Copies of this chain bind each other. A is one copy, B any other.
């Protein structure tokens, strides 16, 4: 009988392949799949879209370990029907994204973005550069998961007061106060900074829209590092044109790469980054901590010990 397959969509270092093989001696590890392999794939790290239908039609598939934190690109309903287990990479990118957000804020408040532009013109713009102070600001983290908690911890130590939004308003570590997502518009007027770190679900689609932008402080900052479609792009553009708030930093978009024709590229009060906030040094180590823990618990009792996704909820 053919050995069942653990498929790895990404290359990992030999040390990790060895660890997997020691834990799971009865499995074959493959980083490329042929047609013949598909019926034997039991565990898939990442999801090879071109084989989606074939994998879903096989009884052998039992567990998908997503490499990313977001899983909205996966066939969640099919996994649910087929009782395929799903886990994600949540937490791996938390430190990177937290550093990205702090960098974006200081780049704006301390006039660094402006300095980069002026340097290209060799202009010494001491008099005209806008400056402000991060310390003392109120920041709203929309999404109090791994990333939100890491951000809260780091930026609180820089003197920032951190508030949180989650589904029900349940308390979360490191937040002065948390509110439910349906109350977001009420708290936004008190905030200097609003940071979106939401997964893409039915509930979060276009949740950052004119209702929210219209309630922000004129001096406010909006940052999105969650999913692109949590933002109503057209309404964001209108809000920026009307200067309803001061600055937006966007790392994710409804359409990626952001089309050259999109006006967001040209706004002075916008920073575009090309979906880089989560890029993580030493990614393999961090990811393998999650996968190997899950592999152990999966092999012993068909359960996932870390980062299991509730399929009906979507995160």
Binding site for B on A (CB under 8 A): 95-96, 99-100, 102-107, 109-113, 115-120, 122, 124-126, 129, 131-135, 154, 157-159, 256-258, 260, 265-266, 271-277, 279-282
Contacts and interface: CB of A to CB of B under 8 A. Distances in A.
B273 A99 contact: no
A103 B110 contact: yes
Contact of A111 (B110, B135, B258, B276): B276
B103 A99 contact: no
Given A95-B135, A103-B112, A115-B273, 12 more contacts: A95-B133, A99-B109, A99-B158, A100-B112, A106-B106, A106-B107, A111-B279, A115-B274, A115-B276, A124-B257, A124-B274, A154-B157
A113 B116 contact: yes
B158 A275 contact: no
A280 B135 CA distance: 12
A279 B272 CA distance: 26
A287 to B, nearest CB: 15
Contacts of A276: 110-111, 115, 126, 129, 131
Q: How many copies does the complex hold?
A: 2
A110 B119 CA distance: 19
Contacts of A119: 265, 271-272
16 contacts: A99-B106, A99-B133, A103-B103, A111-B276, A111-B279, A112-B112, A115-B271, A115-B272, A115-B273, A115-B274, A117-B120, A119-B265, A124-B274, A126-B275, A131-B279, A133-B282
Contacts of A133: 95-96, 99, 280-282
Contact of A103 (B107, B118, B122, B280): B107
Nearest to A251: B115
Contacts of A122: 260, 265-266
A192 to B, nearest CB: 12
Contact of A126 (B100, B257, B282): B257
A92 to B, nearest CB: 12
Contacts of A109: 99, 103
Contact of A274 (B120, B125, B135): B125
A256 to B, nearest CB: 8
